[in-house]
Structures are given as structure tokens and as C-alpha cells.
Structure 1
């Protein structure tokens, strides 16, 4: 009754989840000072995201709703870019001699692929989903920290 249509509801929920996730990501990455810190923080963030999608079906519904609307997809893309920037800030501290454009590209791609990996993981049985998330973490961390 407070929203004119379903799109407005999805938009409001997407904005809320976006703000909450950005605060969580920012806090988790703020004090990362070495590769081990990054591995821990990145793994924990991915686990939180995965558990959230498993536990909260409404978040899945919001995501599906964003995919059906061009303006909502743009909001999601802006969120992904903002989240990748938190990761870029860490990478610039850990790899000060690296090409900033390469760091930005890698961070954005890793972030997008992480979202896709979690969405794939929740669409299969839990055991396979868990394996997919762990495999993604290993792949992403090799790209981010070179190990």
C-alpha cells in the first residue's frame, strides 16, 4: 500500500540491501594490510553473501527482480562497481607498483564473478553449491594475491 507498484518495492529493497552490503564490505576490507588479511576477509565476505542468499529467499527475489528492469540492472551494476572499489583500495595498498587499471579491471571482474558464482551455487544442491563457492574463492584469490 506504500508503493505504487512491484518495481518500486524491488527498488526500495535493492537500495536497502545495497547500503547494507556496502557497509559490510567496507568494514571487512578497511583494515586489510597483507595478503593473508585479504584472503581471510574475502573468504568471509563470500561466505556471508552465500549464507545470506541461502537463508533469505527475498534477496534472491530482489536479484531476479533487478534483472528484469534496465534501471534496476544499472543500480546493481553501480553497486558492483562500488564494491569493487573497496577491493581496489586494498589491492593498491598491497600491490603499489601494479597498474591501477589492471587492478580495477581484476577487482570488478572478480566481484562480478563472485556474484555469479553464488547465484550458481544456490541453484544446485547444497553440497555442490558449497564446492562451487570454495572453488571460486581459490580462483579469485589466485588472481588477487597471486598465490
Structure 2
């Protein structure tokens, strides 16, 4: 759930990634890092316009101003590019979650931060078509599924820690609840972005009420 989004995937080259999305060629020199950023920016723009199903390696290479052979040095196929973009948005979102929850120390602060995160995440997904496309691709890509599950656990752990601080308890007590809420939140945001504005608002507000009661329980 992220407070703000960057243009395309410009930050990807400096972010960590899991093995499933790492490019074949690790950029060390400035020129190589810039080329990787360009590749991902071009891919993100084309996915936003036409969807990942229509993404072609040759189009990405052309848009990035490199040969198809050079592109394959970075990514073996378009699925690897999509996974790299997923890592980018995950890292961006996780950073915001950490910042928003970092200073939570009371139940009141926990409630405000949690509601704020839901609003931020919905706005990010609503305004970023690439994220919605990655969600769709996740249904048929086992590596993306694994990536999504791992990311949910990491984010849920941040929420569990904040709940523990707010209630003066051990974070272990809240792990299952936080993980369930996080997974449900992903599904609810997907639903909210697929309906009209009035229904979307009602769905989000209803989810906030239900889950806020749960996270505020001792």
C-alpha cells in the first residue's frame, strides 16, 4: 500500500529483487543501470497501454533503443520483465508501509495509520494500470504467485509489529490476523477498482470498519 508512485519503473535498478525477477545481467556501471531503467520504463508504458499479453520483446527493445540481443542479456523473456516490475511496485509499497506504521504506539495511532494505508493503496492501484495487469498475470504465473505471497507476509509482519506496539503485546500474537487482513485487503482493493466510484467507496468503507475493529482488539 503506497503513499505515492514513481513514473514507470525508474527506481527498479536500485531496489532489491527476488531471484525470480532479477535480470540476467546485473547493472554495475551507470550506463547499464540507465539502460535497465529505460527497459523497464518502456515495458511499463506498453503494458499500461496494451496489457502484458500484448507485450513483445522486440517492441521493448525498439522503445529502449537497444538490440533484441542486448535486451535478452537483461531479461530472458517478457515474464521476467513483468516480475521485475512487480518487484518495483512491491518495494515502493513496502517502503510506504514502513514509513506510515513506524511511529505507531497507541491504538488510536494504529487506526489512523491503517485507514490511511488502505486509502493510499487504493489510490495507487486505481491510478496505475500496470499494477492491475500484474494482478491478472499473477493468476497464471507461479513465480508471480509466490512473489505475491512472500510480499503479503512481509507487509503483514509490519502490520503485526504495529499492532503489538499499540497493544503492548508480542507481535507473534497478531501474525495470523495481520496476514489474513492483508490478503483480504488485496482482494477488496481489486474489487473496488473494478466498480463505479460510489460502490467503490462503500466497499472500502465497509472493509475499513470490519478490519479496524479486528486490529484494535487486544
TM-score (norm 2): 0.64
- Return closer, same or farther for 1:12/1:84 CA change in 2, 3 Å cut-off: same
Between 61-70 and 131-140, the greater mean CA deviation after superposition: 61-70
SS at match of 2:120: helix
Q: 1:121-136, aligned counterparts within 5 Å?
A: 121-136=192-207
* Among candidates 180, 183, 188, match of residue 109 of structure 1: 180
* Among candidates 84, 89, 99, match of residue 161 of structure 2: 89
Aligned residues: 146
**Contact residue 29 and residue 41 of structure 1 kept, 8 A:** yes
What's the CA shift string for 1:58-103, capped at 9, x where partnerless? Answer: 11011211221111100000000000000111111122346x5441
Q: In 1, Cα distance between the equivalents of 2:168 and 2:116? A: 24
Higher helix share: 1
* Among candidates 84, 90, 110, match of residue 38 of structure 1: 110
Larger radius of gyration: 2
1:4 and 2:76 aligned: yes
Q: In 1, Cα distance between the equivalents of 2:198 and 2:217? A: 28
**Contact residue 106 and residue 167 of structure 2 kept, 8 A:** no
Match of 2:45 in 1: none
Match of 1:76 in 2: 148
TM-score (norm 1): 0.93
**Contact residue 110 and residue 166 of structure 2 kept, 8 A:** no
Q: In 2, Cα distance between the equivalents of 1:97 and 1:34? A: 12
Which protein has greater RCO, CA pairs closer than 8 Å, 6+ apart? 1
Structure 2 spans left out of the alignment, 5+ residues: 1-60, 62-70
